[in-house]
Each structure stands twice: as C-alpha cells, then as structure tokens.
C-alpha cells in the first residue's frame, strides 16, 4: 500500500505532506522521517462540521517561536463547544503522499520558491480572500479586528453575519484567529450575500450575547452545585469524625470511672477485712475509765441511732449530773437521783447505757433499788471531769458513735 503520511522517527508525529515535515523539522530539529501507511486522523464534528486531527502544529501564544504539541483536537473542540460526537473520515481523506519538495531551489540564487498546483515551478501569489464588505464593516462595528472578521467570513462561507459571529465564538481561542487569512490568487470566492439591516444586526448580536450569557450562567450554576455537594460531603465527614471522637472519649471516661470504682471497692474490701481481722485477733476491751465511758456512750448512741434528739438530750443530762457533783460535792441532793423519777426515765433511765454511765462516774444503786447515790467519800473529781470531757466530745462531734 502506498504511503499516505510521513512519520517522524524521533517523536512519532504523523504529517500529511512534505511541507508539514519541513515545518516540523524547523520547529523540533527532528530529521528522521519515513513513509507510513497510517493515515492522519480526520474526525469531523457531527454538530458543526469542524475537522479535527489527533496531532497538529499549533502556535504558542506566550512565546515568539512555534512548538510541536501533541494535542487531541477533538477533546479541545468538545471542551470549547460542548459538541461530543465526531464522524471518522480518515479513510475518505487519506491520499497517497507526494514526496516531491513543495519548495524547490531556484537555480539562480539557491533560494526556495513556491510551486503552483500544476507543478510548473512558478511561484503562486497569495492574497487576502474576498469577503462581503458590508458584513465586514458590520463585524468591525461590533469591535472585531479586521483580520478576525475577514477570517470568520471566509471560514464560515461568507454567508451571513450570524454564521460569522458563531464561527468567532467557536474559534475565539484559536492561536491564529487574529492573523489575516491568505488564499491563492486564482481561487474563486463565493459571491457576497445581502447583509442584514441595522436593526437585524443589533437583534442578532443581542441574541448571541444573551445565548453566551445564559451558557455562562448555566456553567456557573453547575459549578456552584458541585461546590455545594462537595461542601456538604466534607461537612458530613467532619461531623461523623467528630461523633466518632466523642463516642470514643465517652467510652474512655466510662471505662476510667468503672476502673476507679473497682479500685475503690477493692480498697474498701481490704480495709473491711483488715478490721475484721483486727477484731478477731484483738478484742476490744477498755482498760481505762475514760475508755469505758467512751464505749458506754458509743453503745448508747448505736442502740438508739434513730433517736438523735433523745440521745443528745441524754448526753446533756448526764453532763449536768456530773457537773453538779463537781461544783457541789458536799450537797447530797446533787449526789442522789430517784430512779422512778419520770423526767429521769425519759432523759436517761429509759435509754440503754444511761444508768451504766452514771455508775462509771461513781453512782451506786441503793439497797432498796429506789435511788442512785454517790457517797461523799467516793466523790472522785478526776473521774467526773473525765466523764465531762467524754460527754462534751460526744455532744460536739457529729460523727461520734458512727465510726
């Protein structure tokens, strides 16, 4: 099969003619070219008919030189226009490549010269294509440059203002859009079409601007929706992360409190066992008068633990009995208590331990059992003072008898 393209052995670019190969070599300094049976891709947009190639030479707007860039023109076209459908006409457009140089050297001065379509070796004059002057003026009136307006009219078939403006909107990012187009001098131009009226021109321009505005607003709304979705997604992720963190902290605190309670329970159990061991090995046996009095008062309070007011009154009454004897040791009336006295029974005699405490202070029951009496010779001020201290401690200490 005859070659239908030239392939660069250095970068793999497919080129449709010797002229393109020369331009490629000038731009890249590549020199290894060979015939290839692989045709240059020719995709045609189903919506607007624009041809697209897989690889092409483009201008670099930001540098003064050219660069050979591998660009998917179909993807770029879809991005600019939103046209996704293309028809593959590669096989229809493929033609055997002409390997003759398009720029033969002039024998006289060694300079290259152009050849015409017939291959006669004579240079072909290139001129600006003829376009509808009125349409050109109308486009210039819309503040388009002369080169851009001329190229738009020529490429859109020189048919109408709307077609030219549509072409400009679609190709506004083309690198050569503001370069004046050139065509062979002997090429034929289509006859100019009648131009629109001034009113029609304004309406068409307004329509195109409105269409572009709506398209831009729709794109902005779409982007805003995407941003909002992303914001909601991130917000949900943050809330879920916070919830998990709080749940883990709650579980940690519960486990910590549980461990503390368990430790406290073990400590109390240890103390309780220790106390029980002490009780079993060291029985409580008061050895002094003060200890006996203190134990008697504890027993009284524990026995009547639900009668705090009555117990407190009993302690105060006992304190009064002991104090009267200390102050008046010679007076018998302070050393003698009738057991059947109703006030005595209500305050001291009716409580278990009350009479026992008086006996520890030195009181004795009479032979007939009617009185508690302390003989004068048995009045012990030290014992009575000790009783007063123990009673005062029992009265003032709210935890007396509890521990």
Q: What is the pLDDT along the chain (403 residues), one digit of tens a residue?
A: 456 777 888 788 877 777 777 877 777 777 777 877 777 777 777 777 667 664 343 333 333 233 333 345 667 667 667 777 878 777 766 677 666 555 444 433 444 444 343 444 445 678 888 888 889 988 888 888 899 999 989 888 888 888 888 888 888 888 888 888 888 876 544 444 445 577 876 787 788 778 888 988 999 999 999 999 999 999 999 999 999 999 999 999 999 999 999 999 999 999 888 888 877 665 555 568 889 988 998 888 888 888 888 888 989 999 999 999 999 999 988 999 998 899 898 888 888 888 899 999 999 988 888 899 999 998 899 999 999 898 998 888 877 866 5
Q: How far is CA 255 from CA 248, 258, 336, in A?
A: 11, 5, 66
User: Which residues contact residue 43 at a Cβ distance below 8 angstroms, ignoring those fewer than 6 apart?
Assistant: 51, 52, 53, 54, 73, 74, 86, 87, 88, 89, 90
What is the model's pLDDT at position 225?
A: 94
| Token couple for 230 | 């992303």
Helix-helix angle 354-361:308-327, to 10 degrees: 20
What is the model's pLDDT at position 111?
A: 41
Residue 333 is given by DSSP the state G
Is there a contact between 138 and 149 (Cβ–Cβ < 8 Å)? Answer: no
Residue 247 — φ and ψ, nearest 5°? -65, -40
Please state the CATH superfamily assignment of the domain spanning residues 125-196 in this structure.
Ubiquitin-associated (UBA) domain (1.10.8.10)
Is there a contact between 135 and 164 (Cβ–Cβ < 8 Å)? Answer: yes
The domain locations on the chain are 125-196, 216-283, 289-396
What is the model's pLDDT at position 118?
A: 41
What is the model's pLDDT at position 58?
A: 38
CA distance 139 to 271: 103
Handedness of CA 22, 27, 33, 38 (dihedral sign): negative
- The CATH number of the structural domain formed by 289-396 is 1.20.58.2190
Q: How far is CA 284 from CA 36, 120, 280, in A?
A: 117, 139, 9
Comparing 125-196 with 289-396, is the CATH topology the same?
A: no
């Amino acid at each position: 099969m005859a070659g239908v393209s030239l392939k660069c052995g250095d970068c793999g670019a497919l080129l449709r003619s010797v002229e393109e190969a020369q331009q490629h070599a000038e731009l890249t300094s590549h020199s290894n070219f060979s015939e290839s049976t692989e045709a240059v891709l020719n995709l045609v947009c189903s919506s607007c008919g624009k041809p697209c190639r897989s690889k092409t030479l483009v201008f670099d707007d930001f540098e003064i030189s050219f660069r050979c860039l591998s660009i998917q023109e179909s993807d770029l076209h879809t991005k600019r226009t939103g046209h996704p459908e293309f028809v593959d006409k590669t096989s229809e457009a493929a033609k055997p490549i002409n390997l003759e140089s398009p720029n033969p050297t002039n024998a006289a001065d060694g300079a290259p010269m152009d050849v015409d379509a017939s291959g006669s070796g004579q240079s072909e004059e290139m001129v600006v294509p003829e376009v509808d002057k009125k349409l050109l003026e109308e486009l210039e009136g819309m503040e388009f440059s002369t080169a851009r307006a001329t190229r738009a009219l020529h490429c859109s078939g020189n048919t109408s203002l709307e077609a030219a403006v549509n072409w400009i909107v679609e190709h506004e990012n083309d690198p050569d859009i503001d370069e004046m187009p050139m065509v062979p001098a002997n090429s034929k131009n289509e006859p100019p079409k009648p131009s629109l009226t001034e009113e029609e021109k304004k309406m068409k321009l307004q329509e195109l601007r409105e269409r572009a505005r709506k398209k831009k607003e729709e794109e902005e709304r779409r982007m805003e929706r995407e941003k909002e979705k992303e914001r909601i997604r991130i917000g949900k992720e943050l809330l879920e992360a916070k919830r998990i963190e709080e749940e883990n902290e709650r579980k940690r605190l519960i486990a910590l409190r549980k461990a503390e309670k368990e430790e406290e329970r073990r400590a109390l159990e240890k103390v309780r066992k220790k106390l029980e061991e002490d009780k079993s090995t060291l029985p409580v046996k008061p050895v002094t008068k003060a200890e006996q009095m203190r134990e008697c008062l504890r027993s009284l309070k524990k026995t009547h633990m639900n009668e705090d007011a009555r117990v407190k009154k009993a302690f105060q009454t006992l304190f009064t009995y002991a104090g009267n004897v200390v102050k008046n040791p010679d007076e018998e009336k302070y050393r003698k208590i009738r057991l059947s006295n109703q006030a005595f029974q209500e305050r001291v005699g009716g409580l278990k331990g009350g009479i026992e405490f008086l006996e520890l202070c030195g009181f004795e029951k009479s032979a007939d059992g009617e009185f508690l009496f302390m003989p004068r010779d048995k009045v012990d001020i030290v014992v009575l003072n000790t009783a007063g201290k123990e009673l005062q401690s029992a009265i003032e200490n709210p935890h007396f008898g509890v521990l």
